[in-house]
Structure 1
Amino acid sequence: MKSAVETLNPTRVRLTVEVPFEELKDSLDAAYKKINQQVTVKGFRKGKIPARVIDQRFGRGAVLEEAVNDALPKFYTDAVNEGELNVLGQPEVDIKELKDGELLSFTAEVDVRPEITIPDYSGIEVTVDAAEVSDEDVDKSVEQLRDRFASTSAVERAAADGDVVTVDLEAKIDGEVLEDGVANGIDYVIGSGDLLDGIDDAVTGLEAGGEATFTSELKGGSAEGKAAEVTVKVTEVKARELPELDDDFAQTASEFDTLEELRADSRKRLVSMKQYDQATQAQERVLDELLKLVEVPVPEKLLADEIETRTHNLENHQLPQMGMDLAQYLQIQGKTREEFDSETEEQAVKGIKTQFILDELVNREKLNVNQEELTEHLMRRAQSSGMSPDQFAQAVVEGGQVPMLVGEVARGKALAAVVEAAKVVDTNGETVDLDDDEDDDEAAEAATETVEAAESAEAPASESGDDEAKPTA
């Protein structure tokens, strides 16, 4: 077999392959055997029909077509390996010549991973929010805890801000009550904003038995997003009583003996949360700066496939779970279809470039993934998927997705290495030492989450010389 590689552009090549006919012998034998099992010829036992009879009755062309389809994947893979190509996705194969007994010639156009040069990235500098926790932040946290321990008691007076009202609701559009527009016995805290816009004004000042009508845009159900006439009837008014902020409260609401200890713990937790947010910001912003440093050509077909995958997942998986379609989603987002398509393309380009650059760093720095790192990542992915670790692991193995998970962890380690080399300062101009907050494994896993968010879909495409070649002519 002879093969030659022609570079069409930085992300696509054309392979030209010539195969001596004798190299098709095994595939020809397999073709005759397959046809033998599929057809019946009078005078011959099934499976024992001579090749010359098959040629006469069914045509030599049918045999050659079967043999070529069987042999093409192997010849294509051999040519890819011979050319040391890093291919992406399926090739477009065109058979140029097939001379019985002489020669098979075909071309295969396929996307390839572009060659990437990554410059020195140690000069990257990013600014993140300061991990500051004020007394007001602590007060708010303690108040939220206090709110959860509030008690209620029925009162015979008009409802006021902060009261809990039990209400019955009825929604109409064009005078017709919606099938799913009636709800009874709902408890609502006035001023919380947890229900419908306009309900606070409607119920404030009403006593038990009172009702009011207001117009509001529905937030769910069959008429989501539409304006409806809503009638609300108050069946009970309850005053909320908050516990005193003292040591007794601290002992009731926590494992601490004093309010001072509870506040100290709240401050510690808030600092930890802000430091986590700080680290996530650093990873996202360092990645953005890294993307600016590196020129990455994006294969057109790969980009088109990625855009299609993202749009398909949104329309057929994510939005149906939220009870809406794409048109409703765009209306809520205040976007046109053109704006949505443009943003999807921009996100897809970023995801592909992120994968290419970080994979190149993985190879350059010879980063490996050990079993412990893979297991930890698998556990986190299982938790986010709502499956048990055993179920998720089984699904990953059966779906052949172990290499995908390994790639995710490796890219996370690559990003963690770039973040470690970068200079990170906060909005106060202070240098942020992320090593103080996380160990290496935690930093790498957090970076993996950042990478997943940037890629935001399944891996752009498979990369394997084993992809089957499929003729287009």
Structure 2
Amino acid sequence: MKSAVETLNPTRVRLTVEVPFEELKDSLDAAYKKINQQIAVPGFRKGKIPARVIDQRVGRGAVLEEAINDALPKFYTEAVNEAGVNPLGQPDVDITDLKDGELLSFTAEVDVRPSLELPEDFSNIAVEVDAVEVTDEDVAQSIEQLRERFASTTPVERAAAEGDVVTVDLEAKVDGEVLEDGVAEGVSYTIGSGELLDGIDAAVTGLEAGGEAVFTSELKGGTAAGKEAEIGVKVTAVAERTLPELDDDFAQLASEFDTLDELKADSVKRLEQMKKYDQATAAQEKVLEALVEMIEIPVPEKLLEDEVNTRKHNLEHHQLSRMGLDIEGYLKVQEKTAEEFDAELREQAVKGIKTQFVLDELVAREKVNVGQDELTEHLLRRAASSGMSPDQFAQAVVEGGQVPVLVGEVARGKALALVVESATVKDSNGEVVDLDELDGEDETETVEASAADATEAAGTDAADTDGDAGKA
């Protein structure tokens, strides 16, 4: 076999391949064997029909077509390996010449990874992140959230007021018709929490058990998401919420500490750690953005279109469907036009592809490897964020053939961590941020973990799709 490669542009090549006909022998034999099992010819047993008879009955052209379809992937792969290119997606193949018994020629155009020139030194990258500051307000809010968790409720026979927990029955109508999914009974709601429908607070405030009201609200989900509905609400019970007193008894109830002061001191420490981790993640995201901006990165148009379509499909058929929304309802909630949405999606896809190209190039240059412990740790984090158990998530990953995707995420995180170590990160107070000061975790693992999260957020939808765009 002979092959040659022609660069059409920085992200696309054309392979020209010539195959001597004798190299098609195995595929021709397989084609005759397959057709032998599919046809019946009087006078011959099935599977024992001579090749010349098959040529007469089916046609030599059909046999050649079957053989070429079988052989092309092998010859294409050999040509790719010989040329040393990194193909993205499926090739556009064209048979240019077929001489029976002599020669097969074809061309294959395919997108390829662009050749990137990475900086040798990353020390000139400088980014700024928010300073870590735990305010009294932060601590008070944290303690208040803890109080909310330990609040008690007591049934009362009076009108409902702000902060009370009411049990309500709801009925939604659009254009006078009750929606099929618009009826709910026994719903518990805390007045003022904003966790249900707009307008319900005003409707139920002042009602006693048995009281009813009607209000209008835009539905956030369901079959009529985004539409104005007439909501009938009936209060079936009213309960008063009582928060525990902020004292040492509360500290002993809600924590392992004996005093309220100890609980507050622990809250300061926890909040500081959380903000340091958020600061580290922000630093890696900004370093990553700066790195991508430093490099000229052409994006294959077909790959980009595939990625845009994949992201749109996942949004419509996975994320929005779980929320009971369609794309029109989503655009209305987001207050965006279809054109603005498409432009935003395309921008995100370009960013994701460029990010992946740069980090994969860095992984290759630095010869980054991923250990089993690192992969397991990343899988546990991904499982936690997905809401699945580690076993369920691992099974889904294996069954979907996505293990290489997770390995790639970890490798890119480690590669980005190398860049961050060389970059200068300062906070908004002008102080140099030492990302190795995260307590309670191994320094390198912490930086690599948050870096992996940052690269996952900026990358393509590799973990959510089997498409070629995701596998780039």
TM-score by length of 2: 0.91
Structure 1 residue 179: Cα displacement: 4.1
Structure 1 residue 205: Cα displacement: 3.6
Structure 1 residue 395: Cα displacement: 4.0
Q: Counterpart amino acid of 1:143? A: E
| Matching residue of 1:468 | none
| Matching residue of 1:467 | none
Moved more, 348-357 or 176-185: 176-185
Secondary structure of 1:345's match?
helix
| Matching residue of 1:461 | 468
The whole-number CA distance in structure 1 between the counterparts of 2:240 and 2:470 is 64
Structure 1 residue 221: Cα displacement: 3.4
CA deviations 1:67-106 (Å, max 9, x no partner) are: 2222212211111111111111111111111111221111
| Matching residue of 2:45 | 45
Structure 1 residue 387: Cα displacement: 4.3
Contact 1:211 1:234 in 2 (8 A): yes
CA deviations 1:11-59 (Å, max 9, x no partner) are: 1111111112222222222222222232222233332322222223332
Distance 1:180 1:82, change over 3 A: closer
The whole-number CA distance in structure 1 between the counterparts of 2:61 and 2:234 is 80
Structure 1 residue 156: Cα displacement: 4.6
The whole-number CA distance in structure 2 between the counterparts of 1:199 and 1:24 is 74
The whole-number CA distance in structure 2 between the counterparts of 1:4 and 1:263 is 71
Contact 1:138 1:266 in 2 (8 A): yes
Distance 1:40 1:457, change over 3 A: same
Contact 1:86 1:463 in 2 (8 A): no
Distance 1:171 1:316, change over 3 A: closer
Q: How many residues are matched?
A: 464
User: Is it true that 1:141 corresponds to 2:142 in the alignment?
Assistant: yes
Q: Where in structure 1 are there 5+ consecutive unaligned residues?
A: 465-473
| Matching residue of 1:63 | 63
CA deviations 1:222-254 (Å, max 9, x no partner) are: 333222333444444443332221111111111
Moved more, 199-208 or 28-37: 199-208
Contact 1:89 1:463 in 2 (8 A): no
| Matching residue of 2:342 | 341
The whole-number CA distance in structure 1 between the counterparts of 2:300 and 2:395 is 33
| Matching residue of 1:435 | 436
Structure 1 residue 293: Cα displacement: 0.6
| RMSD, aligned CA | 2.3
Distance 1:209 1:395, change over 3 A: closer
Q: Counterpart amino acid of 1:37? A: Q
CA deviations 1:325-350 (Å, max 9, x no partner) are: 11111111111111111111111111
Q: Counterpart amino acid of 2:66? A: E
Q: Counterpart amino acid of 2:224? A: A
| Matching residue of 1:30 | 30
Distance 1:55 1:283, change over 3 A: same
CA deviations 1:173-202 (Å, max 9, x no partner) are: 344444444444444333222222223233
Contact 2:221 2:323 in 1 (8 A): no
The whole-number CA distance in structure 1 between the counterparts of 2:63 and 2:231 is 73
Contact 1:207 1:237 in 2 (8 A): yes
Secondary structure of 1:130's match?
coil
Q: Where in structure 2 are there 5+ consecutive unaligned residues?
A: none
CA deviations 1:407-448 (Å, max 9, x no partner) are: 111111111111222111111212111111152123212211
The whole-number CA distance in structure 1 between the counterparts of 2:172 and 2:30 is 69
Contact 1:88 1:463 in 2 (8 A): no
User: Is it true that 1:274 corresponds to 2:275 in the alignment?
Assistant: yes
Matches within 5 A, 1:13-412: 13-119=13-119, 120-412=121-413
Structure 1 residue 208: Cα displacement: 4.4
TM-score by length of 1: 0.91
